[in-house]
Chain A
């Protein structure tokens, strides 16, 4: 019986963050920090012929203006990935070539925002304007080359052909997919488009920098990846790694967006040039236009099945738009196939291939789901089409084809699935939505139509064989613990949840454990919170560090009490031996160890990385109401039944699911991305880019079907990303069931539904 793991404990920081305590980046900046503004390119593709900053420098309060002439000539990537990063080193802090509307042209630092803005307006730039690459389907072999520079480099071969605007190339093929498709009774082929969804976290990107008493550059940033930022800043500013320290305060949301660096290098450069603290806060417009979004993709799926409904061949061709820079281009591309194809393992051949291409648009990057979201929309929509063609219940079709625990799949890289409750997720989901009565549709007396749809998904838990986390837990002089980690609670509650894991091992209430994260000078190394890694990878590091400490506590108690470690019983507070005849309290032991005669403060340590990335599974079911007169779609209820292994904190995991489903509904229905002909992003604020408000998501019902993942902490797998994957295909399915219109181009807007009905 577990005492703390699984409990619905509130987040330890809840009251402070809810009541507006100054705990976020901006709140902590020194009052005298210089304000930074960035002059940005009005052109999608151009070369800077000249920049005149003379007048701007004379504005009162201006401390420095930096152009491409003032920055190190070292290319780097903003992608927060473990070294060696798979993302190309294709950026300069400021580059004489600008590659999208909004690309950085000059950095202005002043004592006030007014002065910085006034100066910005006085900078004169002459551009040589080039024909931009705006349509990603036309990018390959376009007359314009987005990255012509010779000094762009990759850490290893990612299949880049920069002369052709190809950022990366990938093929995964097992068996002869063409032959298998020929052998199939039914082949479904369809092309899907997914949009460049924005993370739209409530706290926009921001960072401030200063030089400390040792002349080291301190970067305080709202980031998910402090250790990667440290390495990135050191490279971009040509500093030794020992000269950079990165601190992460509370984070106002990330969703993967903050797995990519942003203003740290600009602020850092200003601080190095001026010696003064400097802060850069992205406006909402800049956050939309000039940071990263989800990779827009075009996915062509060919699915072959036999007449009994067994899926025998899967072939997916992908074209991914990485925009002006290649952050996360090759890896989101791979994840798109890796986290979808293994779902169905009755296949005899599978293939997944294509390119990520450069265009002159807002760069793409990491966002919750990381390719799997796009792949799930395409694959699941196709599976739903197969069900319709076979006249088979789509839930039954899944049950026939899904991978089960103990099995492998052609595209599962030889691994065996350690845990899955997807089967029971599907069955439970059917019950909860009322599938039996509601599938596929019913007409209401007011002329509207209600219909249901579904989809299933898998993700991963951390990056197998790559990302590695360390944790340290210290027994303090007063008998309390301090848990040091480098993961980044961006609102998920992971600090609280990891304390629960350590508490379970040490048999002590989580409140007795102080969690510290993250500061690269203090925290043990952690890649950061991304790739659904924190519960699973950092979680195992914490569990093992706590076990290590517990072993040490027992060993030292045995010495003190003059018995063998096997004779010791430890209940979290008291250490007893020989049926209670010998006793010492943890408090006394700690005191003796740290300040008394024993002189040996105990610290438990562990470093953990997993050779596998166990997938959580979700079955998503939705009921929508469609108005056939207008095409308006209203989500009535979303049911998500989740297998994330053991639920580590009942409330926090549930809210992650609800929030992810809502964000997925946003992508499915509302979050449209539009550019004008010149390549200016038009959907660059909350007026144009609609994220769901509380009227837009309907009712969300969450249930858990727990499996036990043998390699996870107390059987846990991840939760963070899988949650966003099912809404797009499930809602598309429900809409198709309602009015017979198959929307293959996200988002599913009333206009597309209405026009689809008209065409019929």
Chain B
């Protein structure tokens, strides 16, 4: 079947199978930032934005995205690099495998939450697992980036 989607502001028409998931469809388009981490919608690695909302691409059927706006970290390069710089300054990037999904969620949070507290931030990002950092450095980076003072 054919779908038309807007990926990072560019409209494309794609041939997909009814049981294709978005994570695979996007990787086939060369968007390698989108990764499968778990198969059970637990880890957040495959996070993309669907119409601006963080969405797990591993459990979203590709045809469901028909006519919608998809954003991956490739489409938010400047902003992502800006936050990545803050993260790296904390040393909190480590293996980086969860970073694109994590950063996309952080950037969505920035748009969604007004003056978030530390607890708000932790709650918003609960679905983004990281095995390397212990989360503390990520939190320091987010607070620095958003100017959260507590």
* A interface residues, Cβ below 8 angstroms from B: 8, 10-11, 13-22, 24, 26-27, 199-204, 250-253, 255, 283-285, 490-493, 649, 651-652, 654-655, 658-663, 685-687, 691, 693-695, 697, 699-700
In contact, A662 and B126 (Cβ under 8 angstroms): no
In contact, A22 and B40 (Cβ under 8 angstroms): no
Cα-based distance from A652 to B93 in the complex (angstroms): 9
Residues from chain B with a CB closer than 8 A to the CB of A285 are 39
Residues from chain A with a CB closer than 8 A to the CB of B40 are 284, 685-687
Q: List 6 A-B contacts (CB under 8 A).
A: A17-B95, A18-B96, A20-B32, A201-B95, A659-B133, A693-B127
- Which of B49-57, B59-67, B81-89, B108-116 forms contacts with chain A? B81-89
In contact, B131 and A200 (Cβ under 8 angstroms): yes
B9 at the interface (CB under 8 A from A): no
In contact, A490 and B81 (Cβ under 8 angstroms): no
Closest to A663 in B: B131
Beyond known contacts A20-B32, A649-B91: 19 more, CB 8 A cutoff: A11-B88, A14-B93, A18-B84, A18-B99, A19-B84, A20-B33, A26-B35, A200-B131, A201-B97, A202-B132, A252-B95, A252-B97, A284-B38, A491-B96, A493-B91, A652-B91, A655-B132, A655-B134, A685-B39
Closest to A17 in B: B96
Cα-based distance from A201 to B32 in the complex (angstroms): 18
In contact, B88 and A658 (Cβ under 8 angstroms): no
Residues from chain B with a CB closer than 8 A to the CB of A693 are 126-127, 129
Cα-based distance from A694 to B135 in the complex (angstroms): 6
In contact, B100 and A697 (Cβ under 8 angstroms): no
In contact, A700 and B131 (Cβ under 8 angstroms): no
Q: Which of A19, A652, A661 has the most CB of B within 10 A?
A: A19
Our pick among B91, B98, B103 for the contact of A655 (Cβ within 8 Å) is B91
Residues of chain B at interface, number, CB under 8 A? 52
In contact, A11 and B91 (Cβ under 8 angstroms): yes
In contact, B136 and A700 (Cβ under 8 angstroms): yes
In contact, A202 and B126 (Cβ under 8 angstroms): no
A-B interface, 4 closest residue pairs, ranked by CB to CB distance from nearest? A20-B33, A491-B95, A17-B96, A651-B91
Cα-based distance from A456 to B129 in the complex (angstroms): 28
In contact, A253 and B97 (Cβ under 8 angstroms): yes
* B interface residues, Cβ below 8 angstroms from A: 31-35, 37-40, 42-43, 45, 72-74, 77, 80-81, 84-85, 87-100, 103, 122-123, 125-139
Closest to B123 in A: A695
Cα-based distance from A491 to B130 in the complex (angstroms): 12
Cα-based distance from A371 to B76 in the complex (angstroms): 44
Cα-based distance from A208 to B48 in the complex (angstroms): 26
Cα-based distance from A251 to B96 in the complex (angstroms): 9
In contact, B132 and A685 (Cβ under 8 angstroms): no
Distance from B85 Cβ to chain A, minimum over Cβ atoms (Å): 7
Our pick among B33, B89, B96, B135 for the contact of A252 (Cβ within 8 Å) is B96
Residues from chain B with a CB closer than 8 A to the CB of A202 are 37, 43, 45, 95, 97-98, 129-132
Cα-based distance from A693 to B96 in the complex (angstroms): 17
Residues from chain B with a CB closer than 8 A to the CB of A26 are 32, 35
Cα-based distance from A490 to B96 in the complex (angstroms): 10
In contact, B90 and A659 (Cβ under 8 angstroms): no
Distance from A130 Cβ to chain B, minimum over Cβ atoms (Å): 31
Residues from chain B with a CB closer than 8 A to the CB of A686 are 38, 40, 42-43, 129
Cα-based distance from A17 to B96 in the complex (angstroms): 5
Cα-based distance from A480 to B98 in the complex (angstroms): 33
Residues from chain A with a CB closer than 8 A to the CB of B93 are 10-11, 14, 17-18, 491
Cα-based distance from A250 to B103 in the complex (angstroms): 19
Distance from B142 Cβ to chain A, minimum over Cβ atoms (Å): 11
Cα-based distance from A253 to B96 in the complex (angstroms): 8
Cα-based distance from A133 to B130 in the complex (angstroms): 35
Closest to B83 in A: A18
Distance from A339 Cβ to chain B, minimum over Cβ atoms (Å): 22
Cα-based distance from A113 to B90 in the complex (angstroms): 40
In contact, B132 and A659 (Cβ under 8 angstroms): yes
Cα-based distance from A629 to B125 in the complex (angstroms): 29
